[in-house]
Amino acid sequence: VPANYPADTEAYREFARGSTAAPAQHSDWIDSWVNNVRSGTIFVTVFRDSSPVFAFGLEVSKTRLFSCARLIGGSHANGNFCPTSTLLDPAQDKVCVQAAFSALKQARPDINLVFAERLLPELQNRANPFAALPTHNSPNVALAADLTGGFQTVLNRHSGKRKRKRHRYQDRKLAAAGPIRLIRPKSKSDVEAILAAFFAMKSLRLKKLGLPDVFGSPEVQAFFRDLFASALADPCPRFF
């Protein structure tokens, strides 16, 4: 059942809190994104015997030719796993996702494309329901790499000798830069200072690479400030 934001916010928040879901699909991420980026947002929820079993939020944008929907947060939302209840039998994943898209098509026939990208294959030993549809691994190695087993296992899995040599070189460069401190923000001013430094360094780095600055817009920067500032009140913040 597609629903407009914020009418169904509390229902989605409650469902996400008690289900298997990745950080970018929790309501604090979605609230911060919608409140700052101001994208057109809809929710789709699949029910079984009046209980929600699967839900996802989409933001809709229009180009000259198409109307497209993507998971909320776009390229900033990585490792996506939409809220999934233990009541949903994995054998029914494909039927569930198809039912969701069918309801979306009926309610919003203006949407031409739906992008479900940067997905986790599984979370907490639960397969991603979207994986029941035809999929392919991301061409971005940073997103597709399997981190199972820790750092040394990853090195051994992917050209270990060459990767270890490069890691030692990077380690020496980092050591030459001076001591390293882990800074954990404790106040809103800490969040502001850390993010300001991050945005500046990211802008410089992306400019050198000839890539667009996806963190450059005031709306996206406001989103991250809001997200991390709100996480300060959480005893177990998902985003630190």
Which stretches of the chain drop beneath a pLDDT of 70?
1-8, 141-145, 158-160, 239-240
- Each residue of 74-86: pLDDT tens digit? 889 988 999 999 9
Summarised one tens digit per residue, pLDDT across range 50-62 is 889 999 999 998 8
Reported for 45-51, long-range contacts at CB under 8 A and 24+ positions apart, including other chains, are 45/1, 45/3, 45/8, 45/11, 45/12, 45/15, 46/88, 46/96, 46/99, 46/100, 46/103, 47/1, 48/87, 48/88, 51/85, 51/87
Stated pTM of the model = 0.83
Q: pLDDT by residue (tens digit) across 120-155?
A: 999 999 999 999 988 887 777 666 667 777 777 777
